[in-house]
Amino acid sequence: MASPSPERRRRLTLAACIIGSSLAFIDVTVVIVALPTIEADLALGLSGQQWVFLSYSLALAALYLVAGSVGDRYGRRGAFVAGAAGFAAASLVAGASPNGEILIFARTLQGIAGAFLTTNSLALIRSVYGDEAGRAIGLWTAFTSVATILGPPIGGAIVELTSWRWIFLLNLPLAVLTVVLAEAGRCEERRAVRVGRLDLPGAAFAAVGFGSLTYGLVEGADRGFDELWWAFAVAVAALAGFALVERRTAEPMLPFALFRRGNLAAANAETFLVYGAIYGFFVYVALHLQALGFSPFETGLFLAAPSVALVALATRFGALADRHGPRLFLAAGAALIGLACLLTLGIATRDDFWLAGSASFLVFSLGLAMLVAPITAAALKSAPADVAGIASGVNATVSRLGSLTAVAVIGLVVSLVFSARTSADAEPLTTGLEGDALAASLAGFRAGMLVAAGLAFAGALVGALAISNREALGTTPTPEPAPAGS
């Protein structure tokens, strides 16, 4: 039997990268839709639901740059295949989890594997296609975007018709297919040129620092902050150690010298703030809607709307930002996301959603489409061409750190407001609440959305005051496409 042609091998590799990346992207939004059902089955409480989401993001944030460096130095295809296999194994553990602790552990493993899967996906396409990578990357973007759109409603349907466990177990055949295609597509690839040591101490300090900070914020609401003072002490010490290591190591995970460039520093600062607002919106609006009686499938359909707008409009806003400069789009897009968060304050009952909720999702979708391409380009255009990959990894890491920090802080606010308003033995943002508990849950949700709005408006201020159109328009564009689920 004749072996596949070089072109067919490249197409097999592209198919593997599309399926593998889609797995990692979908698992974020699918889990958000399934959280209330998982909570009802495993009695997680609000903090447990937060950890199911946060553990994945925390592992990604800690290992994003390290995983990319491993692929650069030791082979992108091998790192990609290892990520796919690890993701399958972690998904099996998640689907079979008997309790919340095992599920959270499995989600952490998914995040570790997902870091290797996603960071090496585009790099593998580039190394295989070389100068002809543009069309392949376009196909990757289109198909992963479609997968991201379909993820929430499909996940909602799975949760309703079968069990939440199948949102993880269905990853197994797709991950196996990814590995088979990647192995069948082995062909000549451009060798990576980066050498040197991996910044493992930096990655370790970052993981401990942000992990202990997140732990203190999430668990402090339940157990009391006086009991968890040590978590914040560890966070401060670890983050100080991280800064020290990054300044002294020859090849840092987070090169601080890059932040001397105005637009790169400002765009990453806005990324941290606005992506915190974005994921705060997604997570807590999804919980609130299901607490009001919407099904997982209905909630999934609502969450798909911003992705549809992103696919339809992001390229146009990116082109406008290239032509006129990104400042207006970064300021206006973030401000629209803040306004969308404020509009959710009017969703007190299921009936309220059709006016206040629809308006909120419409404004949010427009703001997201206006923001994503220009903010990614602004973060990368200021970086020298030879470190564009590092700048892309930094921006992806910052977005993850912003999301996990904001979700933890907003959850803390929701819990504190809920506890202050009622003595009922219940959890906020869960189904079946009545009377004072329901009113307290609504008050907690509104307080959380005010925090999300504040983050978005702060990001808009950074965009308006700190982004330079002159710098952006005077720099040769070299941005990498933002992952569809980032």
User: Lowest-pLDDT range, 50-54, 109-113, 448-452?
Assistant: 50-54
Measured CA to CA, the distance from residue 147 to residue 169 in angstroms comes to 17
Q: What is the pLDDT of residue 24?
A: 85
- CATH of 1-187, picked from 3.10.129.10, 1.20.1250.20, 3.40.50.150, 1.10.10.1100, is 1.20.1250.20
pLDDT of 480 strictly over 70 = no
To which residue do tokens 């020290």 refer? 244
Dihedral angle of Cα 238, 240, 245, 251, to the nearest 10 degrees: 100
pLDDT at 484 over 50: no
Q: Please state the rounded mean pLDDT for residues 447-460.
A: 97
Measuring CA to CA, which residue among 218, 159, 162, 172 is closest to residue 29? 159
Q: What's the pTM value of the predicted model, to 2 decimals?
A: 0.82
CATH value of 255-486 in 3.20.20.70, 2.60.40.10, 2.40.50.140, 1.20.1250.20: 1.20.1250.20
Q: Name the residue with higher pLDDT: 389 or 216.
A: 216
- What is the pLDDT confidence band of residue 175, given thresholds at 50, 70 and 90? very high
The pLDDT of residue 477: 44
Nearest to 152 by CA among 294, 271, 41, 344: 294
Map tokens 């069309």 to a residue.
135
Which pLDDT tens digit goes with each residue over 15-26? Answer: 999 999 888 888
* pLDDT reading at 225 higher than 90: no
Going by pLDDT thresholds of 50, 70 and 90, the confidence category of residue 258 is: low
List, for residues 366-407, the tens digit of each pLDDT value: 999 899 888 877 876 766 655 555 666 677 778 888 888 899
Q: What is the Cα–Cα distance from 265 to 383, expressed in whole angstroms?
A: 10
What is the band of 193 on the pLDDT scale with cuts at 50, 70, 90?
Answer: very low
Condensed to tens digits (0 to 9), the pLDDT of residues 50-103 reads: 889 888 888 887 787 778 778 877 788 888 999 999 999 999 999 999 999 999
Per-residue pLDDT tens digits for 25-58: 888 878 889 999 998 899 888 888 888 988 888 8
Q: Is there a shared CATH topology between the 1-187 domain and the 255-486 domain?
A: yes
What are the residue boundaries of the structural domains of the chain, listed by start?
Answer: 1-187, 200-250, 255-486
Share of the chain above pLDDT 90, in %: 38
CB crowding 420-450: b at 16 or more within 10 Å, else e: ebbebebbbbbeebeeebbebbbbbbbbbbb
Average pLDDT over all residues of the chain: 84
Predicted pLDDT of residue 253: 65
